[in-house]
A and B are shown apart, each in its own frame.
Chain A
Amino acid sequence: MAAPKIEVKYTQFTLPNGLRVILHEDHSVPMVSVNMWYHVGSARERTGRTGFAHLFEHLMFMGSGHVQPGQFDEWLEAAGGDNNGSTENDRTNYWINVPSNSLELALFLESDRMGYLLDTMTPKTVDAQRDVVKNERRQSYENRPYGQADITLGELLYPEGHPYHWPVIGYMPDLTAASYDDVVTFFKTYYAPGNASLVVAGDIETETARTLVERWFGDVKPGAPVEPMTMPGVALAGVQKKTVTDKVQLPRLSLAWLTPPHLAPADAALDIVADMLAGGKNSRLYKRLVYDMQIAQSVSAGQNSQALSSYFLIEATPRPGHTVEELQKVIDEEIARLQNDAPSQHEMERSFNQIEASFYNRMERVGGFGGKADQLNAYYTQTGDPDWFNEDLGRYRPLSATDVQAAAAQYLPLGRRVELVVMPEGSK
């Protein structure tokens, strides 16, 4: 099958205050998604204030100059709308999905918190969301099997002081220390229109939507430009080995490598490497560990692409009666095999076909996390081109089997990686 051609038509313009705007029409259901990316994430946090970008994200739902606390959600729900936000290392995103007759309400709310957030912000609001975020940390990390190890992994991969060293959720004492003054500074530094991009997609008429965006965001004051992040290169000198314990039945092995950033050469090849190792029953690690030998309950592999530095992660859980050492031996054999011999054309074609199908699947939904609006904003942020779908897809098919072999050889050295083991508490 010929590679699909994906076209997402859009209109782009920039407001005088610096806000970049992208509009996309899709009339398949009478809904609109208002999707805002702020180009700031946990990587911008300073020592002693980890978790702050995410805590701040929570505060963005607590009202603004013309919206009393609680009204943001109440008004959207009364209009049949939904909303959410998320924080990563490099960005924070927000979306509002509403029936198309309430587009203006969504633009009002989104612009009001961009322009007038501090007008209603109080230390009490910060305290309230601090408690919520602490409970998010308890629920998603402390009380979840293997959750603490996920935090440890970043600490082992990136040296102290590197902005990917600490977890997005932050450390408890830092969440406690976050202050109202921090909120003011962070908002003024990073939440200006020039550091954001807005996508409005769905059941809109482009000209009307443009007028409404100009109307509601036009009075938001510009801010000072944000200096781009400069980051020293990172590398692992040898094997970083650590064993931690958790209240779990079975151990877990994590092997992780520092790899090139998102969209850098080899980033796509490492996606294929991951698929060959652990995508589907016939993948090399799944087939040997889980299917044939049955010494593992599960195995996964992935190239986790990030703006400044990516990491490649393999995780495997041994079956009762088996050990992480047994798993690691087989995993290393399979990595070496991929490093020494180019994969078959059948494996290559299987991966290409799955990736191409996934691009179609990503076209089905407009709003929410991962919908077309979110993807347009992601591509714009990463490349400057909102409709980068075909270019992204085009990174894969030209790869040869030897490219994939070379990526495995260069970026997955057995002697320079993190080896993290979780052992059940009380086990020996």
Chain B
Amino acid sequence: MMTRRFVLATALAGLTAVLSAQQAPDRTHPPQPGPPPALTLPTIQKRQLSNGLPVWMVEMHKVPVVQVNLLVFSGTADDPAGKFGVASLTTAMLEEGAGARSALEIADAVDFLGADLGAGTSIDASAVRLHVPVARLAGALPIMADVALRPTFPKDELERLRRERLTNLLQARDDPPTIAALAFSRILYGPAHRYGTAMLGTGATIAAFTPDDLRAFYAATFRPANTALLVVGDVAPDHVMPLLESSFGSWTAQTGAAAHATLPAAPEPARREIYLVDKPDAAQSQVRIGWIGVPRSTPDYFPIQVMNTILGGSFSSRLNMNLREKHGYAYGAGSGFDMRASAGPFAASAGVQTDKTAESLKEFFNELNGILQPIPPDELARAKNYVALRFPGGFETTGDISRKLEDALVYHLPDTYFSQYVQSIQAVTAADVQRVAQKYIQPGRFVVVVVGDRKKIEPGIRALNLGPIKIVTIDEVFGPAPSIPQ
């Protein structure tokens, strides 16, 4: 079926061109698209190493580069109570000493190969990621394996990263979007829930971590049974499997499943509340409005994608058209559901000019209320097409594909997920969109965070009568300013 449509499209395009080359173009109507091009999804080849480590591979032979990711199914959400930030610091320390190599030796070897090697943690996973010219893969894999499998957690390097991270935390207090995002999470989830604290942790936790904390977290999570390898790029599986086997196949140090933290359920706010963070003389107010959204496993995933595209997920979305194009209050406005293993936040957001802060809040709520009403058919069709038709373009680079594979693994997406994606979007109905809007967008219970010049914006916000107003200090958002050991 797809092939027939593709052939037809080619024939039609040729015909149009021949007919029209002789005449001035008809500009009275936009040219209509041909039938959609055939979507050829990359084939995922699944194998495993002798120690059971699963390997997912996608061949791409356009550019002689390869991406290799060692993906561990534990992230900051698995930080134990009192140790918020340990996952992030543990992963960062992997490159600071491993096997027989020092931090400087690792960096020199990687840079000399023209490779990019990085270790990082997200909320639901950690990874060591390598991007390298394929001719240098054999040289880079043993270094990557040292970093992932044989970290040494040197005390001096920990002290250095500790000071660096405490300074990062100090500098975060300068940046209004960072303040707004963290304040929003803090207010929704509270200090006890992992989602209510920065991924880095707090000044107190960062100051207290010991090498043993890092070793304990590493031992509990970096194990073959909690890990997968991804290879995307200009390699043949039969050629690359022996290389992977020799670097990762004998990894058996820790067996058994990793312990995963269970996050407490966070209650939704019961009523609308406004939180002001004072940033004297700020030229704009950073606004976040929303509540706790949905987990990645939500059965409403596709209707939510469509609904959010209409509300604030594209340039022509309602929030952007209103706050930017109609009123000029902002450079841009949008909304998004941050989906994680547990329910992450939904937020509508913008930076708005200080003297239009109250007016902007009014328009935000106009749109948040408006999305609860039936969606006009052409707007619905546009949003569905926007999400569905651009989907094939998301498989272009080794990085694009490896990120999609990571999502599939971390969130246990079904094998048919990618091949069914376009159909799943196109199947969303107006009734679906209205149902999920009414379920997940409840403006009467939304938390509003505004980071701006309180003296100038508070009277206008009060006059809107949106709900009780609370003043939040920067220290309440971040904890006290950290002191950095010399």
Kindly state the interface size class of chain B when it binds its partner: 35 or more
User: A139-B284, A282-B108 given as contacts; is B33 within 8 A of A101 (CB)?
Assistant: yes
Query: Per a CB cutoff under 8 Å, which of B38, B65, B107, B175 touches A360?
Result: B65
Task: Give the chain B neighbours of A29 by CB distance below 8 A.
Answer: 392-393, 395-396
Query: Per a CB cutoff under 8 Å, which of A26, A108, A143, A297 touches B25?
Result: A108
In the complex, A75 Cα to B381 Cα: how many Å? 11
Task: Give the chain B neighbours of A320 by CB distance below 8 A.
Answer: 167, 170, 483-484
Residue-wise, chain A 217-245 has the 8 Å CB interface mask toward B (1 for contact) of: 01100000000000000000000000000
User: A99-B389, A211-B21, A321-B484 given as contacts; is B104 within 8 A of A144 (CB)?
Assistant: no
Query: Per a CB cutoff under 8 Å, which of A30, A102, A249 touches B171?
Result: A249
Given contacts A77-B383, A78-B382, A128-B328, 18 further A-B contacts (CB under 8 A): A28-B396, A70-B325, A80-B393, A97-B390, A108-B25, A111-B25, A131-B327, A134-B353, A135-B352, A139-B331, A145-B175, A208-B14, A211-B18, A247-B279, A248-B174, A250-B167, A282-B107, A357-B133
Query: Per a CB cutoff under 8 Å, which of B21, B284, B393 touches A215?
Result: B21
Give min CB distance, A131 to chain B, whole Å: 3
Give min CB distance, A182 to chain B, whole Å: 18
User: A30-B37, A291-B160 given as contacts; is B111 within 8 A of A280 (CB)?
Assistant: yes
Query: Per a CB cutoff under 8 Å, which of A80, A205, A212 touches B389?
Result: A80
Is A100 engaged at the interface, CB distance under 8 Å to the other chain?
Answer: yes
Determine the residue in chain B with the shortest Cβ distance to A31. Answer: B393
Q: Which of A79, A205, A366 has the largest number of chain B CB atoms within 10 A?
A: A79
A357 near B164 with CB under 8 A, answer: no
B284 near A365 with CB under 8 A, answer: no
User: A77-B314, A108-B27, A280-B107 given as contacts; is B396 within 8 A of A99 (CB)?
Assistant: no
Main secondary structure, interface of B, reads mixed
CB under 8 Å from chain A, chain B span 394-443:
395-399
Task: List B residues at the A interface (Cβ < 8 Å).
Answer: 9-10, 13-14, 16-18, 20-21, 24-25, 27-28, 30-39, 60, 62-65, 103-104, 107-108, 111-115, 131-133, 135-136, 160, 163-164, 167-168, 170-171, 173-176, 279-284, 286, 314-316, 321, 324-331, 351-353, 381-383, 385-386, 388-393, 395-399, 481, 483-484, 486
User: A282-B107, A321-B484 given as contacts; is B389 within 8 A of A79 (CB)?
Assistant: yes
Q: Which of B9, B18, B136, B397 has the largest number of chain A CB atoms within 10 A?
A: B397
A102 near B174 with CB under 8 A, answer: no
Task: Give the chain A neighbours of B284 by CB distance below 8 A.
Answer: 135, 138-139, 142-143
Task: Count residues of chain A with CB under 8 A from any CB of chain B.
Answer: 91
B351 near A139 with CB under 8 A, answer: yes
B396 near A365 with CB under 8 A, answer: yes
Task: Give the chain B neighbours of A71 by CB distance below 8 A.
Answer: 30
Q: Which 7 A-B pairs have the closest CB atoms?
A: A80-B389, A131-B328, A357-B114, A30-B37, A281-B107, A142-B283, A353-B114
Task: Give the chain B neighbours of A287 by CB distance below 8 A.
Answer: 104
Query: Per a CB cutoff under 8 Å, which of B27, B133, B390, B396 touches A81?
Result: B390
B316 near A319 with CB under 8 A, answer: no
Query: Per a CB cutoff under 8 Å, which of A101, A107, A112 touches B9?
Result: A101
Is A354 engaged at the interface, CB distance under 8 Å to the other chain?
Answer: yes
B37 near A203 with CB under 8 A, answer: yes
A80 near B386 with CB under 8 A, answer: yes
Question: Can you identify 23 A-B contacts, CB atoms within 8 angstroms?
Answer: A1-B135, A31-B396, A74-B382, A78-B382, A78-B385, A78-B386, A80-B393, A81-B389, A97-B390, A101-B36, A139-B331, A143-B283, A143-B286, A208-B13, A216-B25, A248-B171, A279-B111, A282-B104, A294-B163, A350-B108, A357-B65, A357-B133, A360-B64
Determine the residue in chain A with the shortest Cβ distance to B115. Answer: A357
In the complex, A215 Cα to B23 Cα: how many Å? 8
Query: Per a CB cutoff under 8 Å, which of B60, B167, B396 touches A297?
Result: B167
A77 near B382 with CB under 8 A, answer: yes
Query: Per a CB cutoff under 8 Å, which of B20, B31, B33, B316 touches A74?
Result: B316
Query: Per a CB cutoff under 8 Å, which of A82, A218, A358, A360 touches B390?
Result: A82
